[in-house]
Amino acid sequence: MWITGKTDQTLQKDQLFTMLCKEIRTLAPGACLSYNLRNRLERFSKDERKEIASRTLDGCAPLFVVCQRGNAEVVEYLIATCDANVEQKGLYEVSDDHSVHHVTPLWCAAVAGKLAVVKCLIQHGADVNSVSDTGSTPVRSACFMTHFDIVTFLVENGANISKPNYNGGTCLINSVQSVALCEYLIKNGADVNAQDIQNKTALHYAIQEHRYETTKLLLEHGADPFLKSKYNDDALQTACIKGAKEIFKCLIEMFKYGPKRIAEGYELLGSTFLDEHHDMQLALKCWRKAANVRLKHNLEKEVKDHCKAFQFVKEFRNLEELETISCDQDLVRIQSLLICERILGTSHKDMIFRLMYRGAAYADSLQYQNCINLWLYALQLKIKRDTILFSDTCFTAQALVRLYIDMIEKFNCGHITNKVSFEDAYETLELISSEIPASMKLLTIQPVHKRHQSSFDIMLKVLTHMIYVLLHISMTEEQQHRVAVIVNRILRLDPRTCQGGFSLLHLSVMKTNIIYNNSLLEDQHMMPFPSLEVIQFLLECGANVNATTLEKGLSPLYIASQLKNYKTEVVETLIRSGAHIDQATFSGESPTTLLARNPDCHISLVSFISLKCLAAKAI
């Protein structure tokens, strides 16, 4: 007999599974499994065939793979002959962002547009409302891909089109790119005003994507244009932010907005055309329309006071003032920011994004001070809105620090004449350090999110880089004292990275203490650590030279003694400041051991070991 024993059976099963996986990944559309493979599989009992079919490779069982590929005949065979589990989830990678999700075979077939497979799975009892790891149903995924035939089939077989995913996204929200699909869903009971966790409706998304026909359809079926998202955007404001000019016109024709609202709409629309599409003439045209509306209805602008971030420029109030500045491109761009801040408010994400974008444009044209003013303002707004534990806040802080270091390097090389001002650098340090106590407290509250921990670790790196920046700016004794006071205050809190438990002194001796940029290359001037100046300053401000990490018991001297971090002057500074050269880690290794193995180390280690240490070691 072909099967001779338990060991042979196990081996044969392994071989069959390997053959099955190989074959299903190379099958042509509409093809069946080979006769040889089917014959060998069918020599086993149904339970054994099920066991083979339930195995996974790279997180996916054979049934999951053929569902994605669309081989309906093989799907039928695996379910009917091998009793494959129709609910066994596999890993599906989204091509757009490469995120990986845990989904059912039906979900996979629905998103892949394989109607024949979907029908086969439903026929064999697949749960039509099963959900992925994000709470998304098969019908919702089919809506996103606009597979109309699959959506209709699933609905006819009991799919719940009102069931949102965990973020509140509905089938209708996922279908705004297809007028026909939206119409079908509405006819089948979809709620046109259902909101997701951002309080956005399908109308918001249709406008964001400039879907004019979908927008009209939703409005005709009762979509509320006055519902607001969490950023306070209703339909009209969304159209203005996204530059959806035709939808903006449609809305002001269909609904009775007051003259102030229409004027602000034109102003915001003009700002979008300037900031997003670089169309200055269209922006000025919109602003002139707004000015005429204000003139006709005798409406005055509520203009804010002058602000350093906007170079103390004041917003135009009428047509005459607009024409005065219309030929100055820089002033026009500042007007755009002023308009956005007045209408959207300082906490709106689009407002802060435009500050960052405009700041980057200033940096590219070597107008560094204007960039610093905008980015520092953006950092203040982000911290006020969120905390330093948010990735957006981290991004802004890192961008600002990189700019400071870049300016210092270019100034030292004689490439620019702009200096980093003490007040700007000090304000940045003070702003970030003032948030450390609250952030440390927040990180003790369960549940703790990894992204918040990561942001906190980044901010501690930012602090060490800010100290580096300040130490490379000419400071008076009074200014140096002000910095020392802040640093001492931070050190008394003893903040540690969530990953590794490193103190500021630990970070300052590490080569891996890097503020990353968007480039694939790491410029040398963006890697200032280990930094002797920062280490000395931290020690002067009261840093504990023998502080150890909680997980491995690593001291700053131990890390500085590692070959990748080694600098003679750094190691000597730590030792002369009281670092114990024989202080062992939890694994029993000491700085002495590392330094003795380092061919670049010419420090006389014996002279730094005290009689007390030798006695303790002997005992």
- What tokens does 121 get? 């799975």
Residue 593: pLDDT above 70? yes
List pLDDT tens digits, range 269-307: 999 999 988 999 999 999 999 999 999 999 998 888 778
Identify the weakest region by mean pLDDT among 317-321, 354-358, 459-463, 612-616.
612-616
- Res. 510 pLDDT band, cuts 50 70 90: very high
Helices 235-242 and 329-344, interaxial angle, to 10°?
Answer: 160
Task: Select from 424, 450, 456 the least CA-distant residue to 438.
Answer: 456
In this prediction, residue 608 carries a pLDDT of 64
Residue 95: pLDDT above 90? no
In this prediction, residue 204 carries a pLDDT of 98
- Res. 395 pLDDT band, cuts 50 70 90: very high
Q: How many residues does the chain have?
A: 619
List pLDDT tens digits, range 300-319: 988 887 788 999 999 999 99
List pLDDT tens digits, range 435-474: 999 999 999 987 878 999 999 999 999 999 999 999 999 9
In this prediction, residue 268 carries a pLDDT of 97
In this prediction, residue 7 carries a pLDDT of 58
The CA distance from 256 to 251, in Å, is 9
Identity of the residue numbered 395: F
Task: Select from 545, 534, 429, 432 the least CA-distant residue to 482.
Answer: 429
List pLDDT tens digits, range 195-215: 999 999 999 999 999 999 999
Residue 5: pLDDT above 70? no
- Res. 616 pLDDT band, cuts 50 70 90: very low
Residue 607: pLDDT above 70? no
- Res. 264 pLDDT band, cuts 50 70 90: very high
List pLDDT tens digits, range 414-434: 888 889 999 999 999 999 999
Q: How many distinct helices (H) and strands (E) make up the chain?
A: 32, 2
Residue 612: pLDDT above 80? no
In this prediction, residue 27 carries a pLDDT of 85
> E-strand spans in 261-364?
none
- Res. 168 pLDDT band, cuts 50 70 90: very high
In this prediction, residue 519 carries a pLDDT of 40
Beta-bridged to residue 93, according to DSSP, are 100
In this prediction, residue 530 carries a pLDDT of 94
Parse the chain into domains and list their residue ranges: 1-160
1-160 homologous superfamily: Ankyrin repeat-containing domain (1.25.40.20)
Identify the weakest region by mean pLDDT among 59-68, 413-422, 519-528.
519-528
The CA distance from 529 to 416, in Å, is 24
- What tokens does 83 get? 């009793």
The CA distance from 160 to 137, in Å, is 8
The mean pLDDT of 532-549, rounded to a whole number, is: 95
The CA distance from 198 to 49, in Å, is 47
In this prediction, residue 515 carries a pLDDT of 84
**What average pLDDT does the chain have?**
91
In this prediction, residue 520 carries a pLDDT of 31
Give Cβ neighbours of residue 21 (< 8 Å, ≥ 6 apart): 57, 62, 65
In this prediction, residue 1 carries a pLDDT of 38
